[in-house]
Amino acid sequence: MTTAYEPLVELIAEVPSCLVAFSGGVDSAVVAKAAFLALGDRALAVTGVSASLAAGELETARRIAESIGIRHEIVATNELESQGYLENQPSRCWHCKTELYDRLRELGHELGFEVLLNGANADDLGDFRPGMQAGEQHQVRSPLAECGLNKQAVRDLAHYWNLEVWDKPATPCLSSRVVYGLSITPERLARIDAAEQLLRRLGFDTVRVRYHHGDLARLEVALADLPRLCEPEVRSQLVSELREAGFQYVTIDLEGFRSGSFQQMVSAEDLLRFSK
């Protein structure tokens, strides 16, 4: 494991100071840990906060930053004021990351932190990633990807460093659950958040609630959990509480959980435009 983390720390140590885009997930936690080891007080972790952040994620980010020892700041992001973001086309993440990196650049200039780092890893390269293009346009560096660390290597490194999020499932922003073409609103994001919190309270660890036209909720859970999701008491509670939250229809995806299931709707033109 020494050979895995030393190049990462050494790469970050080459910059005079850095600001880490810090969600509190495993990727950004590993970058923050490496940045703190490399630069100490010359590294700053920053979490962007808006209505698209799922409940509990900010508290997790604060706790992880404290355990690492890195200084942690919070910035409010205003992506919901961007028409391009609200329209929710496949380029939505570009608008979100552009807003985030603009705010981070401003904070970096104000506090004297020169280089922006994100948590993109080697597995992210080549995927449909409009946010990666926004990072390139803002001269954001991706030390995990630069060191060739894929998702499993990042998790292994997080486990080695005893970061509590080493096995945490990916938790992208709530807007990623809204089907392309259906506008993003705070009300829809709140419904998704409430629905996913309910599923977790019922004991489902890996969940997505996809929001479709007609206020339809499509529930994704791990395949092994599908039978329990269909148990009469669980099904009845889900239907009742999700309708109370504002959904008109509640459906179960028989394919189970899969990350980025809306990407099959992305056009070839958009894939060419935003894939690295």
CA distance 7 to 92: 33
Output the pLDDT for position 114.
95
CATH number for the domain that contains residue 120: 3.40.50.620
Same domain as 155, residue 254: no
Mean pLDDT, residues 223-234 taken together: 96
Answer whether residue 183 shows pLDDT above 80.
yes
CA dihedral of residues 125, 131, 133, 136 (deg, nearest 10) = -90
Same domain as 185, residue 152: no
Query: Is 273 a member of any domain?
Result: no
Query: Is 70 a member of any domain?
Result: yes
Answer whether residue 173 shows pLDDT above 50.
yes
Output the pLDDT for position 170.
85
Answer whether residue 19 shows pLDDT above 90.
yes
CA distance 51 to 188: 10
Same domain as 185, residue 80: no
CA distance 266 to 113: 36
Lowest mean pLDDT among 28-32, 113-117, 199-203, 266-270: 266-270
186-214: pLDDT as tens digits: 999 999 999 999 999 999 999 999 999 99
Q: Which of 160, 195, 213 is the last residue of a domain?
A: 160
Output the pLDDT for position 258.
87
Is the pTM higher than 0.85? The answer reads: yes
The total of structural domains in the chain comes to 2
Same domain as 182, residue 73: no
246-261: pLDDT as tens digits: 999 999 999 999 876 6
Domain span including residue 99: 2-160
118-171: pLDDT as tens digits: 999 999 887 667 888 999 999 999 999 999 999 999 999 999 999 999 999 888
Using the structure block, give the residue that is written with the tokens 């099904």. Answer: 235
Same domain as 142, residue 54: yes
